[in-house]
Every structure is written in C-alpha cells, then in structure tokens.
Chain A
Amino acid sequence: MEEKQEKMALLDVQKLRVSFDMYERGLQKKELEVLHELSLRVYPGEILAVAGASGSGKSILAHAVMGILPGNARTEGEIRYRGELLDRKRQESIRGKEIAFIPQSVEYLDPLMRVDRQVMGIRGAKEKQETAFARYHLGKEVERMYPFQLSGGMARRVLISTAVMEEARLIVADEPTPGLNAEMAMETLQNFRELADEGCGVLLITHDIDLAFQAADRIAVFYAGTIVEIASVADFLAGKEALRHPYSKAFIDALPQNDFKPIEGFQPYAGNLPKGCLFAPRCPMRSGECEKEIAMRKIRDGEVRCVHAT
C-alpha cells in the first residue's frame, strides 16, 4: 500500500463539487449541488470501484471526469490527470485517446451507424477495430450490424472494444453490468481486470456491491453525492469491524448475505442536505461535532470522512 501511495496517481480528484443551475417556479434560479467535496485517486494497474445506491449521482462523477456534463453544470475543485490539471481544453484533447469512457448501455451507440464504423470512431483504423473484436470474441458478422441487432452481451463487448482502440491509460466505466446475467457480468469484470493488469487505471462506477467485491482492488463508498470511505476490498470482505465509516458498516449489515438489516431513513435529496456530515441524521454515533464541516482523513490505510471513525 505504501508503495502504491508513492506512485503518482493516474487520476486525482480533489474536493470536486458539481452543481446544476435549475429554474424553480417563476424564473427563480436555484443551484442544486449534486457532488460535494468528493475526493478520490485512481492509480495505474488498479480498479477503484465507486459503489453507491442508484440515482445518487455516481454517473455525474464519470461525466465530470470526461468533461461531458450538460451546459448548466458548474464544477469546483480539482481534477488532475497524471499530475496535470485536467481542464476543459485538456479533456477535449485527451478524451477518447488517453481516457476512455465505457457507457452503460447500447443506448450510447448511434442507432443508425454500423458497429464497426462506430467502434473505429473518428481516428480508429480498421485493423485496430478487427483486433479489438477478436480480443472480445466478436464475430465478423457483428461488424456490419446496427446497434439494435446486438444482444446484451454483444453490446457490452462492443462498448468495451471502443476503449481498447487507442492506448487508454484511464478507463471510466459507468455501470457496465446491469442487464447481464452472472456469467456475462463475470466476463465483463474479467475484461476490466485484464486492462488493469496491463497497467490501466479503471474507475468502475457501480451500484452492485457484489460486483465491486469481485472485481475491484479498492472500493469507494458513495453516499448522497460524496465519498464517505475508501478502503481495500479486503477490508470490506473482512466485515464491518475492518471498516471505518458508520455508513459502510451499516451497508455491510444490510447485505442479504449478512444480516439483511435495513438502515433506517433514506439518503438525503440533493436540494435538502443536512449540515456537516451527510449521514449524521441516520447515524447512531452522531454528536454535535457532526454538524461541522468534515474532512476526509486517513485511518488504517484507508480514507474516511467521519469524526468518530477509528
């Protein structure tokens, strides 16, 4: 672990805030913050899974890294790629080359363009596309297909092959497995593992914690628009004692294979957040301190955003 920290992070996100301008009744402009002070690092050769409930804003993180947020979004904080600030200009010049995005579903393919041309993209060569298809066991006949003709598994592999067209160092995968059966999901994860073993950093965004357990090296627990804990998979597998944040612990308890014990209450809505710690209203350990601003701190080889964590 120590050794890892010394390596330069491939992706370094520090105190990222993303907010959207919304118009409420009348023409009153309102700012809705969906990511709050989010920090994480992805190192070369590892898979970092960002796990959290569906609809809690995880995709926004992926879109912010790729620079494809909608026009009414505003970002604060820093995103660095290999030590360099990843601003709009830099994003535009390296996305699709050094940073590859793997989207959720076949909906992200142009419905009227044949798959081979689509995988080739704007700079890809035919041979590269053929190599990529061979690598992911896509038959020759798939090349001439349109997205609507792809099966779920084929679509998945087509989307992954877009990521290996160029020598991407960082792969951002947004929910790559829903709709796949267990076997296909495992295959997909295997593909990510291979890419990481080749030296890529993979940011894997998922709501499926089991998947994160199986594929990732480290897991970042996403709650209400921020990351409350980052720890190695080993800590998660060891059980709640090895974890740091009360939410991660409760989360482990809530899993069907453990106590299946639900957490009281629900995640706060982005427009209506508590002060200080976002989990405090549901937390058994809450105290006056929790209403202050909570910073991310290092404990036992992991990172946590909680004043009570030990």
Chain B
Amino acid sequence: MNRLKYIGGTLCRMLTLLAAVSVLSFALVALSPIDPLTAYIGTNSTLSQEAKDAIAEHWGLNDPPAKRFLAWAGNFLKGDWGTSIAFKKPVKTVIGERFSYSVALMLIAWIFSGTLGFLAGVFAAVKKGSLWDKIIKTFCLALQSAPTFWVGLLVLSLFAVRLGWFPIGLAAPMGKLAQDVTLGERIYHLILPSLTLGVLGISKITLYARQKLIEILSSDFILFAKARGENISQLVWRHGMRNIALPAVTVQFAAFSELFGGIALAESVFSYPGIGSALTAAGLSGDVPLLLGIAVFSAIFVFAGNLMANILYGLLDPRIKEGRANG
C-alpha cells in the first residue's frame, strides 16, 4: 500500500514537473526573437512573401501561443517530437543518437568525480587542518568557481595542444568511416572531455564528504568507539565510511543536473558530438523543436537521478528500510 502510494506520488510529481518544464520552455521560446520560419529557410532566402505567409499559415505560426503549445504538446504526447531544423532529422532520432555518445562521457565523468572526490574528501577530513587539507580545499574552491568552458580550454591547450597526448576534439578520428572506428579510438577521444567534466563535478562531492566526515567524527558514537579502543583508521573505516557513504551517493545522484549543464559546455569546447553540443547547435540555429525536446529530456534525466537517490536511500538506510517494516 505504502509503496503504491509512493510510486503514485512520484509519478504525479514527475508529470507536473514535465508539464511545468514544457510550458516554461515553450513560453521562453515564444517570447524569444527566434523566428522558426527564418530559422528554417535562412535569412537570405529568395522565397516570396506569399510563399512565406503560406508556410507560416500551414505551420500555424499565426495562431495564439496557447493554441500552438497545445498542438505541440499533443503531438509530443503521441510520440511526434517534431523535426530538427539543424540536423534535418526527427528530434527523437537526434536525441537518441547524441545521447548515446554523451552517456558514456557522463558516466565516466560521474564515476570519476564520485570516487576520486569521495576519497579526497575523506582524506582531507582525516587530515583536517593539515597542509593536505588546505590544498584540497583550495583546489576545490578554485574549481567550484571556475567556468566549465575555461577549464575545458585549459585542459585542451595543455594535454591536446602542448603535450599532444590526446586528440583535440570529436568522438573519433577525422576522416574515418563510422563503421571503422574502434572502441579504443572512441575511448581515446572520450578521455579529455570526461576528465574536464569530471574535474568540474569533483569539488562538490569532495567538500561534501569532507564536511560530513568531520561532522561524523565529532559525534558521540565516535567518542564511544574511541573509548572502546578503536584507532583513527578503524573509526573512519568502521563508522565514518558507513555513515557518509549514503548521503554522498545521494549528493552524487543529485548532481545529475550539473552534469547535464556541464556537458553542454564541455562538449562544445571539445567538439564532441553529444547531446550537449546538439543543444548548443539547436540554440544557435533557432532549432525550436530540438530545443524543446532536449529541455523535456533533460528534465526527465535529472528527475531520474533524484529518484534513484531516493530509492537507494530507502533500500540501503536501515533507519528507513526497517523503520518502515516496523511501523
């Protein structure tokens, strides 16, 4: 019963969120100077005014915004997400293709930032007040305040241009047919962009793990464990990790939103053909259907991240799991 209620409530929240996101994005696009017609035919088109009017009439561009929104939303629900102007393909296909590239990138960055950040945070907390702690903290704060594209350019100029260790961009070697690209080459092209993206996500989780562990280490049960003979590494391994792992995982799942935001810039800098650069391209070329499609898609993605965090918490935290069974 409780579970049904939870699932129902979650679905409800997701639907209202999606409705709100689509209304808001649609309103923003409608208010923006983007003219879908110009975006479609180009600025120096030789098309006559009558022909333009006919297209506008056919597309329903003269209808009031509410009616246009309902037409778009109705089609969207039926599975017709429209056709991307920039890519000349259905929006769904574009998102699908592009996301399959991005997902590897995001996954690597996410795992990389999660593990390294967590360990760095734990290390800093254990060595609280030491030089190492200060270095880690300063590094995190610097990263936190650095813009993604700038870090991306820095990484690019160091590792790709100066050192020449990694390719300067794209997802595969230039001039090679898609079917000839090897997995190794793909991974090789993934390293720099995922490193950039990961490094940007690292500071949040590091600072969080550090703060949380310091908090835990000053709690009463640590005092008692110490009084029972545990030394600092036993305290950290037996009690510290146990108590910070779950909240840290939650924070990392909640960071899905930043991951999506970061990917738009990171992919642009590295000309990586993922969903982030598709978003940039859509924005630059006034590709309204793709913009809206990605907006809704990103909302689902972020929502899924938070949902996973919630579910994990319920499954792993005994206070919730067994508390529910008892209550």
Residues of A within 8 A of B (CB): 63, 66, 68, 70, 92, 95-97, 100-101, 103, 105, 107-113, 121-123, 146, 148-149, 162
Contact = CB atoms under 8 A, between A and B. Distances in A.
B48 interface: no
B221, B226, B231, B239, most chain A CB atoms within 10 A: B221
Nearest to A109: B221
B37 interface: no
Contacts of B108: none
Interface in B234-258: 234, 238-239, 242-243
B319 A121 contact: no
B304 interface: no
A112 B323 CA distance: 12
B224 interface: yes
A263 to B, nearest CB: 32
B226 A113 contact: no
Contacts of B227: 66, 68, 95-96, 101, 103
B326 interface: yes
Nearest to A69: B223
Interface string B291-327: 0000000000000000000000000011100110010
A257 to B, nearest CB: 34
Given A92-B231, A148-B319, 12 more contacts: A66-B226, A92-B229, A96-B227, A96-B228, A103-B227, A108-B224, A109-B224, A112-B242, A121-B229, A121-B230, A123-B229, A149-B326
B303 to A, nearest CB: 28
10 contacts: A92-B231, A96-B229, A107-B219, A108-B221, A109-B221, A110-B238, A110-B242, A112-B242, A122-B229, A148-B323
A100 B238 CA distance: 20
A95 B229 CA distance: 5
The 7 tightest CB contacts between A and B, nearest first, are A96-B229, A96-B228, A101-B227, A108-B224, A66-B227, A107-B220, A146-B318
A204 to B, nearest CB: 16
B225 interface: yes
A107 B223 CA distance: 10
Contacts of B326: 149
B229 A111 contact: no
Contacts of A149: 322-323, 326
A149 B327 CA distance: 11
Contacts, number: 72
Contact of B224 (A103, A112, A146, A148): A103
Contacts of A103: 220, 223-224, 227
Contact of B319 (A66, A92, A105, A111): A111
A155 to B, nearest CB: 12
Nearest to A105: B220
A101 B230 CA distance: 13
Contacts of B319: 111-112, 146, 148
Contacts of B238: 110, 113, 122
Contacts of B230: 96, 121-122
B107 to A, nearest CB: 28
A115 B227 CA distance: 17
Nearest to A121: B228
B314 to A, nearest CB: 14
Nearest to A108: B224
Given A101-B224, A103-B220, A103-B224, A112 B229 contact: no
Contact of A101 (B228, B242, B323): B228
Contact of B242 (A92, A97, A113, A148): A113
Nearest to A148: B319
Given A121-B228, A121-B229, A110 B322 contact: no
A68 B242 contact: no
B221 A111 contact: yes
A103, A110, A146, most chain B CB atoms within 10 A: A110
B321 to A, nearest CB: 10
Interface in B195-240: 218-221, 223-231, 234, 238-239
A122 B232 CA distance: 12
A66 B225 CA distance: 11
B127 to A, nearest CB: 13
A149 B318 CA distance: 10
Nearest to B319: A148
Given A111-B243, A146-B318, A97 B224 contact: no
Contacts of B224: 101, 103, 108-109
A103 B220 CA distance: 9
Contacts of A68: 223, 226-227
A296 to B, nearest CB: 27
Nearest to B223: A68
B323 A108 contact: no
Contact of A146 (B219, B220, B234, B322): B322
A122 B231 CA distance: 10
B231 A108 contact: no
Nearest to B246: A112
A110 B239 contact: yes
A21 B220 CA distance: 21
A101 B224 CA distance: 7
